[in-house]
Amino acid sequence: MTSKPSFLAQLLESAGFYVRTAADAENGMRVYSEWRPHFIWLDLRSQGTSPLEAITNIRALPGGRDAKIAALTTGSFADQRDAVLGAGADDFVRKPWTPRTVFEIMERLLGVRYANSPPAARPVVASAPYDLSGFEALPADLRSHLLNAVMLLDKERIIEAVRSISAIDPRWVGN
């Protein structure tokens, strides 16, 4: 749980974590009550209810002692470290933080392990050769758009390029 959709939320989702966000500490307590996450990232800049009060209140809720809470802060809040940890947070992270720091803290507090190696390569199965004659007849900008989309593995741009190609020459798609 984070205070708002952010780079942190995107980072965690991209790593396969389920994420819910809350706009402020009060909504964070409501989200916790409804969802009961294993881990909470709490931004100390949260509006409304004091973040320290939010930590105390979450700890008092059913299962609240089991959740891990890490507080995120800017340099100006560094003097709050003792108060935040005293309120029940499990860790205190100063900004700027790195993705590595985020994952290391979650690994330590939750015991999660990450697969850091690329997936094993799968053999490529040869298919029937395609007749590419006529491909060069497509407009250069469309060929370039398709090539760039494929190189970036951008699914949306690939689909867009294929639609444009099929509008020009339907024989290129559908088989």
Domain parsing of the chain, residue ranges = 7-110, 135-172
User: What's the Cα-to-Cα distance from 114 to each of 15, 16, 33, 111, rounded to whole Å?
Assistant: 9, 10, 28, 10
List the beta bridge partners of residue 94.
73
pTM for the structure as a whole: 0.61
Contacts of 164 (CB under 8 A, 6+ apart): 142, 145
Per-residue pLDDT of the chain (175 residues; tens, 9 = 90+): 444 457 888 888 888 889 998 888 788 888 888 889 999 998 887 766 788 888 999 999 888 999 999 998 866 555 678 888 888 999 998 878 888 899 999 999 999 887 765 555 555 555 556 566 667 778 888 888 887 777 777 788 888 888 888 887 776 665 4
What would the CATH number be for the domain defined by 7-110? 3.40.50.2300
Residue 107 · residue 114 · CB < 8 Å: yes
Rounded Cα distance between 61 and 68, Å, is: 13
Residue 40 · residue 30 · CB < 8 Å: no
Rounded Cα distance between 102 and 16, Å, is: 14
Q: How many CB atoms lie within 10 A of CB 162?
A: 15
